[in-house]
Amino acid sequence: MSATTIAQKGMEAFEKGDNATAISLLDKAIESSNSPMWLLVRSKAHQKAKNLEEALHDAELAYHVAAERGSGTSRSHMIQAQYRRAVIYYQLGRFADADCCAKWSMLLAEGRPAREDDGVEKRVDSEGNYTVTYDEYLADKENQPKPKTSDGNAFAAAEKEPNATAWNMAFSWRSQALGRLKNLPKDHPAWKVNVTKIPPKPEQKKAKSPEPAELTSEDEVQKQKPPKKEAPAPGSVPDEKMKLRIDFYQTNQTVTVSLFVKDLQKDDLKVDFGKHQVRISPIPREAASYVKPGDREATSTLILAGEIDPSASKWSASPRKIELVLQKATPGIKWGLWGEEKIGSAEFDDQQPVTTTSSSAASTAKPAAPSAPTPAKVPAYPTSSKSGPKNWDSLPVDDDKEEGQDINGFFKSLYKGSTPEQQRAMMKSFLESNGTTLSTNWDEVKDKVVPTVPPEGVEPKPWNG
């Protein structure tokens, strides 16, 4: 987890009032980066937790880090740092110091130079007591918020300034600090000024590492290791959560089903084809990391929506995908769905399944031509091509090409024989529609985003694999 993410969680914890968690998280984040913002939030968390010395340390360090960075937000962070000093000194009972810091916060908010020798801390008498009084504060009309204007807006002039809110907050805090001094005797320590405009830069505090526990025997002398993330227990993950993401498309002859996995061992994979089912094993599953070859969870049985020719069906695999090319038993019949996945091994409801252990065809012998009547001629599909309608099924497909490449070869052949304008239309429509639309009419697609149009009964879902 990055320092920024940890810091964000720490600031969220502070907003919820969980100061202990906020401090712990910000400690980790600040080990990587001294962000003035993170330091200021940690200062407030320490203050709320009554850790006033730590709160003051963070406020003063934030002031120096902001001044050294010199970024666009540096002045704002320096204003906040002086204000935090004022609040903390007030809680420490050092009211003269609190008023000085509040005044410096106001001057910075007004745009005055950070290193200006304004003499605020020098307003002391011969005994070292602060000479600024509550009455003087009230009488200083030039440095007070403007009264309401004719339209009823309070502090209208000040609110136009970029740091007006910070100025008003510091001004109000001066009222509290000087109001407390007014009721204290002159020999009270709270009248003493012990601060400087630019505080000494404190050292970066490092998070304390826990002391190692005492070891009582040689068996206990082992390095403490972080606890390992426990894998789910066998059978504890619902089947629905273990199912794979599956996509499919079809032609008149085949249904191509893609199962998306991770870290698949192709050499170990076994695929059994039946007329209505396909059994695949072993399948690694992220949702159940305990899965091993032979476990029920390592097997998927695909219940198909139509009948296939097992001996003519093929499969191929990569570390992230299993692709099945299922030969339709009856070419020309459109499947509304590919089927559904069942976790585990299901009994085949037809003849002995055809088993393959490689991505070659399940059988090298071609089945005899069926004696059934030849299906009626499939009509040409409509197209937006300027060259008129095409009968996609009449285009030649080289069955002798490397297995798993028949569809790719089909599109390569189509793309190669198209004009540059048609190729541009094909690329745009195919990519924007997530492979569900292929147009060769550039005029039709050039000025719009081609939508995803999945097959009937299929709902498109994003995959974050």
**Residues 171-205 pLDDT 10s:** 888 888 999 998 899 889 999 999 999 998 888 76
Q: Are residues 68 and 181 in the same domain?
A: yes
Write out the residue range of the structural domain in which residue 137 sits.
34-191
The answer to whether the beta carbons of residues 129 and 192 sit under 8 Å apart is yes
Nearest to 164 by CA among 264, 251, 76: 76
Q: What is the pLDDT of residue 387?
A: 54
Domain assignment present for 186? yes
Candidate from 31-45, 55-69, 375-389 with smallest mean pLDDT = 375-389
Kindly state the percentage of the chain with pLDDT values over 90.
37
Cα–Cα distance measured from residue 406 to residue 233, given in angstroms and rounded to the nearest whole number: 42
Burial zone of 102 (CB within 10 Å; 0-12 exposed, 13-18 middle, 19+ buried): buried
Does a structural domain hold residue 371?
no
What's the rounded mean pLDDT across residues 245-253? 91
> Are residue 301 and residue 426 in the same domain, yes or no?
no
The three-class DSSP label of residue 322 is strand
- 295 and 148 in a single domain? The answer is no
Rounded Cα–Cα distance for residues 99 and 178 (Å): 7
Torsion from C-alpha of 98, 99, 100, 105, nearest 10 degrees: 90
CATH number at residue 98: 1.25.40
Name the residue with higher pLDDT: 97 or 395: 97
C-alpha–C-alpha distance, residues 76 and 166, integer Å? 9
- Asked if residue 121 and residue 259 are part of one domain, the reply reads no
- Region 424-434 average pLDDT: 83
As given in the structure block, the two tokens for residue 324 are 């099945």
Q: Tell me how crowded residue 426 is: count the other CB atoms within 10 A of its CB.
A: 21
Residue 376 lies in a domain: no
197: in domain: no
pTM for this model (two decimals): 0.45
In a domain, 307, yes or no: yes
Residue percentage of the chain with pLDDT more than 70: 74
Greater confidence (214 vs 269) lies with 269
Instruction: Count up the domains in the chain and report the number.
Output: 3
Residues 173 and 63 in one domain: yes
DSSP letter for each residue of 228-285: PPPPPPTT-S-HHHHPPEEEEEE-SSEEEEEEE-SS--GGG-EEEE-SSEEEEE----
Are residues 335 and 418 located together in one domain of the fold? no
Instruction: Report d(CA 98, CA 89) in Å as an integer.
Output: 5
Residues 132 and 252 in one domain: no
Q: Are residues 336 and 406 in the same domain?
A: no
Residue 11 within a domain: no
The reply to whether 60 and 180 lie within a common domain is: yes
Write the DSSP symbol of residue 161.
S
Which of these three, 128, 161, 191, is where a domain ends? 191
Q: How many helices (H) and strands (E) are present in the chain, helices listed first? A: 13, 9
CATH code, domain with 254? 2.60.40.790
The band of 295, judged by pLDDT with boundaries at 50, 70 and 90, is: confident
Asked whether residue 372 is assigned to any structural domain, the reply reads no
Q: Which pLDDT score is estimated for 94?
A: 94
Which residues face 250 on adjacent strands?
255
Mark whether 315 and 419 lie in a shared domain: no
Q: Taking all residues of the chain, what is their mean pLDDT, rounded to a whole number?
A: 79
71 and 179 share a domain? yes
Whether residue 257 lies inside any domain: the answer is yes
pLDDT at position 364 is 37
Dihedrals φ, ψ of 271, to 5°? -125, 125
Q: Are residues 309 and 431 in the same domain?
A: no
